[in-house]
Amino acid sequence: MEKTNFGLLPKEFSSYKTGKFVVLSIPYEKTTTYIKGTGNGPSAIIAASANMELYDEELKKNTAEEVGIATLDALVIDGVGKEMVEKVKNSCLKVLKDKKIPIVLGGEHSISLGCVLAAKEKYGKISVLQLDAHSDLRDSYEDSIYNHACVMKRIREHCDAVQVGIRSLSDEEAELIKEKKLNVFFAHEMRKKNFTKEILSKLRENVFITIDMDFFDPSLIPSVGTPEPGGFLWYETLDFLREIIKEKKVVGFDVVELCPNKINKAPDFITAKFIYKIIGYISENF
């Protein structure tokens, strides 16, 4: 069966050699704890993307034809822990060394550590911008330090991070945030004030963005592992990201934790469209 390119792009716009963006699917799912199925996320996103219009009415251009978006074969990972992280890192690093921007589709959130380590090796000092409902700052969960609930704790061991939209955390995580004075922006506070300038001030020039789809409100994206109320909607999220991307150099991003629902296909399509919008915003800085 022939592989489907993101956006169903023809060869002239999906060449690895000439494309500036590269989609890497990592359908890894080993530590999910509530609703299962995030391993099916990447293929669902790519399948849904085949139904998108490629003209962006906001940017007034066909982003895919302008920049090129290649799609790699899915990265299959049998190992766990360090083995998984190393394999993800090596795959992302190759894309980065080829002077392209990786777009990583998960899978569970634990894969983001490998992506970040690759970006750090390529660019040196970076910041990670996390959009998520959960702080993911546990030191260990279910006997693993590489559990999806620990990913930001592991990432913070290697680089700066700013966490945005948080609205679910444990006592342990709350104490850590208070003790270390971590840059965490809670959803209930963001309802009352625009924190974009403050968030920008805390990010380095080079930024890797990790996006858990439960950042969005379940009314928009119900198909996630743990749908938390009080999330963000479409235009407010796009406005925020466009401002961040305009001011910083985004060296790559991942989108994780979509759990496709056989009945409701809307979240698959919305996620694909969301990814395409981010590609468009980044391309504005070329």
Given pLDDT bands bounded at 50, 70 and 90, which one contains residue 135?
Answer: very high
Specify if 138 maps to a domain: yes
Specify if 239 maps to a domain: yes
CB atoms within 10 A of CB 21: 24
Q: For residue 220, is pLDDT > 90?
A: yes
Specify if 258 maps to a domain: yes
Q: What is the mean pLDDT of residues 194-201?
A: 98
Specify if 193 maps to a domain: yes
Phi and psi for 21 in degrees, rounded to 5? -120, 145
| Residue 181 CB partners (closer than 8 Å, separation 6+) | none
Give the CATH number for residue 26.
3.40.800.10
Work out the end-to-end distance of the chain between its first and last CA atoms, rounded to an integer number of angstroms.
Answer: 35
Structure tokens at 147: 């559990």
What is the pTM assigned to this prediction? 0.98
Q: CA 242 to CA 96: how far, in whole Å?
A: 22
Q: For residue 49, is pLDDT > 70?
A: yes
pLDDT of residue 33: 84
Given pLDDT bands bounded at 50, 70 and 90, which one contains residue 81?
Answer: very high
Specify if 1 maps to a domain: no
Q: CA 137 to CA 141: how far, in whole Å?
A: 10
Q: CA 210 to CA 233: how far, in whole Å?
A: 17
Given pLDDT bands bounded at 50, 70 and 90, which one contains residue 83?
Answer: very high
pLDDT of residue 1: 43
Exposure string (b/e) for 105-121, b if CB count within 10 Å is 16 or more? Answer: bbbbbbbbbbbbbbbbe
Q: For residue 205, is pLDDT > 90?
A: yes
Q: For residue 194, is pLDDT > 50?
A: yes
Q: CA 173 to CA 81: how far, in whole Å?
A: 21
Specify if 27 maps to a domain: yes
Q: How many domains in the chain? A: 1
Write down the H helix ranges in 28-72: 41-49, 63-67
Q: What is the mean pLDDT of residues 122-146?
A: 97
Q: Are 168 and 228 in contact (CB under 8 A)?
A: yes
Q: What is the mean pLDDT of residues 4-15?
A: 95
Phi and psi for 216 in degrees, rounded to 5? -75, 155
Q: What is the mean pLDDT of residues 200-220?
A: 98
- Domain residues for the domain of 190 are 6-283
Given pLDDT bands bounded at 50, 70 and 90, which one contains residue 91?
Answer: very high
Three-state DSSP state, 50: coil
Structure tokens at 198: 């403050």
Q: CA 154 to CA 112: how far, in whole Å?
A: 10
Specify if 277 maps to a domain: yes
Report pLDDT digits (tens) over 155-193: 999 999 999 999 999 999 999 999 999 999 999 999 999
Opening angle at CA 218, ends 261 and 166, nearest 5: 125
Mean pLDDT of the chain: 97
Q: CA separation (Å) from 160 to 58, 66, 130, 249, 263?
A: 32, 32, 11, 15, 39
